[in-house]
Amino acid sequence: MTEHSDDYILGRLIERSRLLIAISEEIPVETKLQTQPLLKQLEQLLEAEAGALDVERIRGTHELLRRELEPYADLDALVSAMATFLPE
């Protein structure tokens, strides 16, 4: 079994979340327009060099995503799973 890095897993969770948001008919357009940029921002924040990671902004962006997507069970699960792999 191949073991993946936290960065890889986070990238996949972000990618899956982005796709699920885009195709979901349950999510209002306004929520889609608010959350897609948050996912992009989280992705960019995570791409910084290890010593230059802004952990506070990463955690804050993640929390905003979690609050926005909490009503949608599948997305809530994906975003909640991200917390395990975020830098501390």
Which of 63, 66, 60, 68 minimizes the C-alpha distance to 78? 66
Q: For position 88, what pLDDT does the model report?
A: 87
Residue 1 placed within a domain:
no
Nearest one of 17, 9, 8, 71 to 39, comparing CA atoms: 17
Question: Is the dihedral angle over the CA atoms 38, 41, 43, 46 positive or is it negative?
Answer: negative
In a domain, 64, yes or no: yes
Q: Count of domains in the chain?
A: 1
pLDDT of residue 8: 93
Range of the domain at 37: 6-85
Q: What is the pTM of this model?
A: 0.89
Model pLDDT, residue 79: 96
Residue 21 in domain:
yes
Mean pLDDT for back-to-back runs of 10 residues, the chain (88 residues): 86 96 96 96 91 93 96 95 94
So what's the pLDDT on residue 21? 96
Question: Rounded to an integer, what distance in angstroms lies between the CA atom of residue 83 and that of residue 42?
Answer: 12
